[in-house]
Structure 1
Amino acid sequence: MKALKGILSEGFWVLYHEEYSPLHFKNKVPVRDRGFLYKPSHFQGHPADAFLQYLYIPMVSFCDIPISNIKSHLNHYGSDGRNGKIAYGIGLTKSWGLDHNLNPVIYLVPGSQIAHSFIDKCVKGSKYHQEESEKTKIPGRYGIETYYPPSQMNISNGLINDNKENLYPYETLFLKPIGEINLDKPNIPSESISFVDEKEWRYVPNDASIISGRKLFHSSHNSQYYQSIAENAERAKNEVPKYNDLKFEIDDITHIVVGMNDEIPELQKHLKAEYEGKRGVNEDQLHLLYSKVTSYETLQRDFFPH
């Protein structure tokens, strides 16, 4: 509820999200796994199967899903409430999204021809090779990764850079695998997520700083090195100045969802305090906005009761 009120008051906050590096789209995934990318958890297995590279991209994400079809999405991303899962959200017009440079995500099947076309355009920068050489600084162990500060992306010949001077096609900002399989143990899936069903649209600011990172989901005597990579990525994200909020107007709102019915009066009071007078909203507009407020509790009853 607090986050929803903040969005209604200030707009959407542009935050960093952890996304797979395009390099992980190289290997073909077995058909039995529906083309979903494997994501290991903390398990004992072969280290090569428990190592992932990420790009941290500042963004705001939306789903182009009708309310009647959001049950599975909210079951995964919703919060635990008094009577099971609850969710909060805000719907905006498609024209607002187009006016603010939102773009639908490009979903890729790992190992496909189009996936390879993206990978072939990626260029490892000089800092990547320097990073690799650091692994030999301590005999039998990796050294500590050198810190690379954030660097605002520069679009040149359709390529963008991260903070380690690696280059990627601009479209990398909007890439996502069609799905993900979480592994608790080698070859034993615990959960699968179909990303393509989310129909994600994404906003990425033009002044974005892309941060490179990697994670090892495995016990290792080189854990200090991988820990330094994680700490450096977090430091770089924290050093980036706050991005401008993504704003919208009252007429852009199509619906607002709170968790429970008894939260609706509280939100209406917030809307009255936020919009009446401050933004020149008249009484008719305010009452129309009230009519767009519903609860996840009501949605469960009316749209997906079973």
Structure 2
Amino acid sequence: MGNYKITNATSEESSAEYYSSELSANALFNFMGEYQYLEDTINRMAFLPRYYPENIEYLRISKENTPLKEWYIPMTCFCDIPLHQISYHAEGKAQTGYGKFSIALHKKFGINNGIQPVQYLNSNSIPTEELRNAISILLSDNGQIYSDEALISLSNHLFEYMRRIKPLDGSMKKWDKEGKKYVEIKKNFHDEHEWRYIPDFESDELPFLLYRQDDIIAESSSQFYTKSITETKNGLLNFNVSDIRYIFVDSILSREKLISFIKRKQKGKRIPRAEKDILISKILVYDEIKEDW
């Protein structure tokens, strides 16, 4: 699945006027389960996507007469849930939450950088049935490169669409609390208001999608492909201090720790001293803010 490629939006398209949201947040939140992930992201001033497993049993598609149960998509996930409703997404129950640490970017930044809301599919609907048929045809072509311009455009569109869909509800894999293995949980995905940043790999860098069993085993056992994303040309989602709307930490102790880290920060992307003060001013303690939601 490395032969299909979409051209980036033009600068004129990416600078289109932004209309603020009335029913959803005007920020895109990426929640994390551990403090260290927050430090790592700020150190890079970039989000590092990873290949995430997606359960696709609801699509009921096969490759060479073998049912496909999952594929892995390189992405960083965000949500635009309003603050007063965010607690279930962050905390959840029975390991369904994503963590109390978060960096929230301005939604306009996300839109200008191609971050896209996913489309949730009713597995019993006609559009899903038609999509199932189209994907089956695409997979049966064994990645051949089309010569007809119309077919190239249609196959590119279908392939990119495949990476931005999700069922209304179902099961998903999530790292356990120790971060050592995936556990399977069930969720109503529509409640997540998910947006995805999917890196724009060059065709000779990394696969755009993992669905072959050997590739899935390599990724699930050692994160073989995820570890290579830092070596790609456009894999990371870079941001500046001005692009950040909020930073959440779980406690006052974590806030003090993060402030100290930002003040002494020497490695990674350089942040001028004046911008460090602005960055620190964006830090909020999740448990304190939650009291006023």
TM-score, reference length from structure 2: 0.64
Match of 1:69 in 2: 85
Q: Matches of 2:89 and 2:245 in 1, distance apart? A: 19
Indicate conservation of the 8 Å contact 2:241/2:278, yes or no.
Answer: no
Alpha-carbon shift at residue 296 of structure 1 (Å) = 2.0
Indicate conservation of the 8 Å contact 2:51/2:225, yes or no.
Answer: no
Cα deviations by residue, 1:176-207 (Å, 9 ceiling, x for unpaired): 0111158xxxxxxx974111111111011222
Match of 2:162 in 1: 172
Indicate conservation of the 8 Å contact 2:55/2:171, yes or no.
Answer: no
Match of 1:57 in 2: 73
Moved over 6 A (4+): 77-80
The one-letter code of the counterpart of 2:118 is V
Alpha-carbon shift at residue 266 of structure 1 (Å) = 1.1
Match of 2:12 in 1: none
Alpha-carbon shift at residue 75 of structure 1 (Å) = 2.0
Match of 1:159 in 2: 155
Q: Bigger radius of gyration, 1 or 2?
A: 1
- Would the alpha carbon gap of residues 181 and 13 (structure 1) be closer, same or farther in structure 2, given more than 3 Å must change? closer
Q: Matches of 1:301 and 1:197 in 2, distance apart? A: 22
Unmatched segments (≥5 aa) in structure 2: 1-34, 62-66, 144-150, 173-183
Match of 2:140 in 1: 125
Alpha-carbon shift at residue 232 of structure 1 (Å) = 5.1
Match of 1:280 in 2: 272
Q: Matches of 1:6 and 1:86 in 2, distance apart? A: 16
Q: Matches of 1:234 and 1:191 in 2, distance apart? A: 17
Cα deviations by residue, 1:63-86 (Å, 9 ceiling, x for unpaired): 111222111111238979xxxx96
Question: Could you say what the CA RMSD is over the residues aligned between the two structures, in angstroms?
Answer: 3.6
Identity level (%): 22
Indicate conservation of the 8 Å contact 1:121/1:169, yes or no.
Answer: no
Alpha-carbon shift at residue 229 of structure 1 (Å) = 7.9
The one-letter code of the counterpart of 1:279 is I
SS in 2 for 1:121: helix
1:203 matches 2:238: no
Unmatched segments (≥5 aa) in structure 1: 28-50, 129-154, 161-166, 183-189, 215-227
Written as runs of structure 1 = structure 2, the 5 A alignment for 1:79-118 is 87-118=100-131
Q: Matches of 1:79 and 1:9 in 2, distance apart? A: 27
Q: Matches of 2:51 and 2:216 in 1, distance apart? A: 14
Alpha-carbon shift at residue 300 of structure 1 (Å) = 3.1
Q: Matches of 1:66 and 1:78 in 2, distance apart? A: 22
Indicate conservation of the 8 Å contact 1:212/1:233, yes or no.
Answer: no
SS in 2 for 1:205: coil
- Would the alpha carbon gap of residues 233 and 26 (structure 1) be closer, same or farther in structure 2, given more than 3 Å must change? same
